[in-house]
């Protein structure tokens, strides 16, 4: 492990936490991220459901959110298994990497440390997806306790308080899901470390730039914002 390796790892951690801070939770920039804009749409969805008694559409949405979370949790488990298999084939990998001219090979111990780090990333994403799945389950239970349309009209304040619980639980679950998905994306940048520290820096920056563009400058974000509606009217 060289100084460049430690600098690359520090840059990876800095960009990860910085990007998470900018795109999660309350907006810290005048331009909200796609995730932050979607949190408001979740609130509109739950409030809209108070006006109808037939909530089959809403329960289907909840089921879809849970199924997507379960899929990525299973994917993380498979990735962890692949990392352990890679550790078991260290001798073969060692022989291959020594003959590659474009790879900055630091030795077997450094390679194993990098694989352990990659395993930790997938383990973190699994726990995030697993917790998100459970929170979406709690959200479904809370949603089932929402009053019917007639009860909402009779006591709107109580109904809105109940809806706020569902909204907060849904947003928290989505935040953990996004954290797990972000880790999966950044693991692609982490793979550059197996080639060398400078490739690690370049691949991490590339992934962060792509994710930042999608969060702040993509067509998906524009579709959610009010300015896109005003342009359509013109």
For residues 213 and 219, what is the distance between their CA atoms, to the nearest angstrom?
10
| Higher-pLDDT residue of 52, 106 | 52
The model's pLDDT over 173-224, given as tens digits with 9 standing for 90+, comes to 999 999 999 999 999 999 888 888 898 999 999 999 999 999 998 888 888 8
Q: What's the pLDDT score for residue 230?
A: 40
Asked if 6 contacts 111 with a C-beta cutoff of 8 angstroms, the reply is no
- Residue 156 confidence (pLDDT) above 80: yes
Answer for the pair 8, 202: CB distance below 8 angstroms, yes or no.
Answer: no
Torsion sign across C-alpha atoms 70, 64, 224, 49: negative
> b vs e for 107-139, b when ≥16 Cβ sit within 10 Å of the residue's Cβ?
eeebbeebbeebbebbbebbbbbbbbbebbeeb
Q: Are 203 and 188 in contact (CB under 8 A)?
A: yes
Residue 158 corresponds to which tokens in the numbers above?
A: 């109580």
Segment 90-148, tens digit of pLDDT = 777 777 766 666 666 667 788 888 889 999 999 999 999 999 999 999 999 999 888 88
Count of residues in the chain? 234
């Amino acid at each position: 492990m060289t100084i460049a390796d430690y600098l690359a790892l520090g840059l990876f951690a800095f960009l990860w936490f910085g990007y998470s801070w900018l795109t999660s939770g309350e907006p810290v920039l005048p331009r909200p991220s796609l995730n932050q804009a979607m949190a408001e749409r979740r609130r509109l969805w739950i409030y809209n459901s108070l006006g109808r008694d037939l909530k089959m559409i809403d329960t289907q949405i909840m089921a879809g959110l849970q199924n997507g979370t379960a899929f990525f949790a299973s994917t993380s488990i498979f990735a962890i298994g692949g990392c352990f298999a890679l550790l078991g084939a260290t001798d073969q990998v060692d022989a291959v990497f020594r003959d590659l001219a474009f790879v900055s090979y630091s030795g077997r111990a450094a390679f194993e440390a990098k694989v352990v780090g990659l395993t930790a990333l997938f383990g973190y994403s699994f726990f995030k997806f697993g917790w998100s799945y459970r929170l979406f389950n709690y959200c479904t239970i809370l949603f089932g306790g929402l009053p019917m349309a007639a009860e909402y009209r009779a006591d709107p304040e109580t109904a809105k308080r109940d809806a706020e619980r569902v909204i907060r639980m849904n947003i928290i679950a989505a935040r953990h899901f996004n954290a797990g998905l972000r880790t999966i994306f950044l693991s692609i940048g982490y793979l550059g470390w197996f080639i060398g520290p400078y490739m690690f820096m370049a691949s991490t920056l590339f992934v962060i730039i792509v994710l930042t563009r999608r969060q702040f400058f993509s067509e998906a974000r524009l579709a959610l914002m009010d300015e896109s509606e005003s342009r359509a009217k013109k």
